[in-house]
Chains A and B, each alone.
Chain A
Amino acid sequence: MSGQSAAVSRKQSVVASPTTQVLSWGRYPKIAHQHIHKPAWNDQVPEILRAAAPGSLLPYGLGRSYGDSCLNAGRELIDCRRLNRILGFDESTGMVRCESGVSFSDIIKVFLPKGWFVPVTPGTRFVTVGGAIANDVHGKNHHRAGTFGAHVRQIGLHRSNDGLVACSANENADMLQATIGGLGLTGVIAWADIQLKRVAGPWIDAETVPFHSLEAFLDLSRESNDRFEYSVAWLDCFASTNLRGIFFRGNHASKTLANNRNQFKAKRGPKLPFAMPAWMLNRHSIRAFNSAYYQIHARRTGTSLVPYDKFFYPLDSIRQWNLLYGKQGFLQYQCVIPEGNVEAVKELIGRMARSGMGSFLGVLKQFGSAPAAGMLSFPRPGITLALDFAMRGERTLKLMQSLDDVVQQSGGALYPAKDARMSPALFEASFPRWRSFVPYIDPKMSSSFWRRVTGGRG
């Protein structure tokens, strides 16, 4: 073929292995990856695992982890979002079998009209089933239902060395426990059987109660645990000396209203089009936001019937809200402080308030005493506090280190799904049994987070 070499030498639109930047929800750290696999079918996964170098892969879902636990710097990701089929559903029991890339949003869309809801949900519905298992996510009903992992009955797990392995309480139970909260390191989840929860309809009987001290928050929590399935509190991060917040609690309403499909649909709001300029977020604007948020909700005190998306997913109504924090991104800080150590929680709030780097979203929740579903599950009895901080370099990291000291002294723990910077020492303190998890790691899997917190000892 004449002219062939000329054609070949020209710039082609095809490239072998592009270096791709994938960001987690916090948009920090900014990490480049060697290659992103995008299997569309479960039958393609074994070949991806087989062909990979040891420690080179990590499954990736909707990227709602905040830090680097869903990233794999300089290596490869398996984007599981196209593995999004629902493979079976038992109408009489509410047991659903789905692939790992199915999102909570999708599950709700399909099953809420049939009277079923996700058993446990985080504050966004844009997470995959695989990600929810890998991080053993919790929600506003932790005191009643435990973590998401507690509702996973069986999984099919692609392992690079022994194929597709079924794991349940009866079979490979230890591998199931390792995979729940296992940060994607035990293999690629092919499918999972999830026990959905019966509900009457898309409505929540919600109640809003302002509070003015940590003790009042704890009283509200204790009082609510028996009567309310869901509870969570928002904290004004600037009212340091006279702490204040809003306590939200609710139950699924018995009202059905199932004649119109639109009532099951989550509302889609505006979308932040690009990263906001960093100067827009400063102590004054954040203080003003916190104050306004408090005033608005304090005025609406009382009970009301609200749609599920407004109750569970207020932030989902602003798409890409993470761009609010500007180009440098932001860091989440979620810790749990053991039961009874109220002083430590106060100290954390105080240190943050004094720093002037307050956060939009201070969230408080009292965890229940359900036994951990996974080997590396984060929730444990105590108070969990979640804060976010715009990334402003060294001074942000310094503040978080000073919070670390409080957490570690109190015998608490940090949540890997939110973390981009905890030290190996704090990880060890948070998860003292992590070494017993190591044998379950798939030899082809690794992550930026894992390499960082184990310092290569994993």
Chain B
Amino acid sequence: MMTITAHPTTTQPDSTGAHSVMKKVVILGATSGIALEVQRQLAHRGCELLLVARSPHRLAELQADLMIRGALRVEILSADLANIQQHTAIFDFAQRSFVGFDTVLLSYGSMHSQRDSETSVDTLLEELHVNFVSATALLTWFAYDLERRRTGCLAVITSVAGDRGRRSNYVYGSAKGALSLFVQGLRSRLHPAGVQVITIKPGPVQTSMTDHLQNAASFADPQRVASDIVQALERRSPEVLYTPKIWRYIMTAVEHIPEAIFKRMSF
């Protein structure tokens, strides 16, 4: 009974996006809490989107929502991003059905409770696999393509948790920290090809991933974090985005605490 249509007035780029080079964006992990907000803002700017996530049902809901909110076009692909066997198919689909994409955002991740990762090697390995191993494997495909085309922007959501190993979340942190290092190297490699690589390091954000943590109410608003990310994608800068911005200063301070003191801290 319902029809989904994109209204012409909403597909025109507004003043903020008029000169943007960001038109076709691939989202790897479209159902993550931060990606949901980023996609909305991209839709509002009239972008074309390719959404990749596991649940076909949820993807279909997102497709309808984002089209109504002004996206020029929304393609969806149901795939398990953590499953490396599926990466070829994901990349092929993007190349075939989303020709000429200019921006790739990797936004998936998993956060088990630290305690589970300490008491179960399986959980530990899964955490490292999802957040680091599978992410690097998938990025390799897209990096290769953008490098070859000598264009575009690759943005990866890691975490401030990766800046220093902390008692309360060093397993998640080490996977995200390793991913940050990988992305840093990738940035240097793709620089000569003119491909911009952005490391996005959010502080704690109020999403489904963090609801179980203490003080979740004090975490950052995902809409605000998404605004920072969208702005960085649009400007293709900075190289490393801390969001909310205050986390750049917090992490600078945290990194300067001597190890002998740091090991006694329980946070």
Contacts and interface: CB of A to CB of B under 8 A. Distances in A.
Nearest to A88: B2
Nearest to B118: A7
B61 A4 contact: no
Interface in A21-73: 38, 40-43
A11 B168 CA distance: 9
Interface string B1-19: 1111101011000100000
Given A40-B33, A43-B58, A86 B115 contact: no
A409 interface: no
A14 B213 contact: yes
Contacts of B31: 40-41
A163 B2 CA distance: 22
A13 B69 contact: no
Contact of B5 (A8, A20, A91): A91
Given A14-B213, A89-B4, A261-B14, A7 B64 contact: no
A62 B168 CA distance: 32
B2 A114 contact: no
Nearest to B61: A85
A15 B168 CA distance: 13
B58 A41 contact: yes
B57 interface: yes
Contacts of A90: 1-3
B266 A10 contact: yes
Interface string B60-84: 0110110011100000000000000
B211 interface: yes
B96 interface: no
A151 B243 CA distance: 41
Interface string A82-101: 10011111110001010000
B113 A14 contact: yes
Contacts of B237: none
B2 A89 contact: yes
Contact of A13 (B3, B14, B169, B211): B169
A110 interface: yes
A342 interface: no
A18 interface: yes
Contact of B68 (A1, A12, A18, A89): A89
Given A88-B4, A89-B5, A90-B3, A110 B113 contact: no
The secondary structure that dominates the A interface is mixed
Given A13-B213, A258-B9, A8 B118 contact: yes
Interface residues of B, number: 40
Contacts of A113: 7, 9-10
Contacts of A85: 61-62, 64-65
A82 B65 CA distance: 13
Contacts of B121: 1
Contact of A12 (B4, B33, B58, B114): B114
B214 interface: yes
Contacts of A1: 118-119, 121
B167 interface: yes
B115 to A, nearest CB: 5
Nearest to B119: A4
B4, B57, B70, B207, most chain A CB atoms within 10 A: B4
B208 interface: yes
A110 B9 CA distance: 11
Contacts of B264: none
Given A4-B118, A12-B113, A12-B168, A86 B69 contact: yes
B256 interface: no
Given A14-B214, A86-B64, A86-B69, A40 B208 contact: yes
Contacts of A14: 113-115, 212-214
Interface string A123-164: 000000000000000000000000000000000000000000
Given A110-B69, A114-B10, A261-B14, A11 B5 contact: no
A11 to B, nearest CB: 6
B71 to A, nearest CB: 12
Contacts of A15: 212, 214
B16 to A, nearest CB: 10
Contacts of A10: 167, 266
Contact of B65 (A38, A43, A86): A86
Contacts of A20: 217
B244 to A, nearest CB: 17
B219 to A, nearest CB: 12
Contacts of A82: 208
A169 to B, nearest CB: 14
A82 B267 CA distance: 29
Given A14-B114, A14-B212, A43-B58, A114 B65 contact: no
Given A85-B64, A90-B3, A43 B57 contact: yes
**Top 6 nearest A-B pairs by Cβ distance?**
A88-B2, A85-B65, A13-B168, A14-B113, A7-B118, A40-B208
Given A11-B266, A14-B212, A14-B213, 18 more contacts: A1-B119, A7-B115, A8-B115, A10-B266, A14-B114, A38-B208, A41-B31, A82-B208, A85-B65, A86-B69, A88-B2, A89-B5, A90-B2, A90-B3, A91-B7, A110-B68, A110-B70, A113-B7
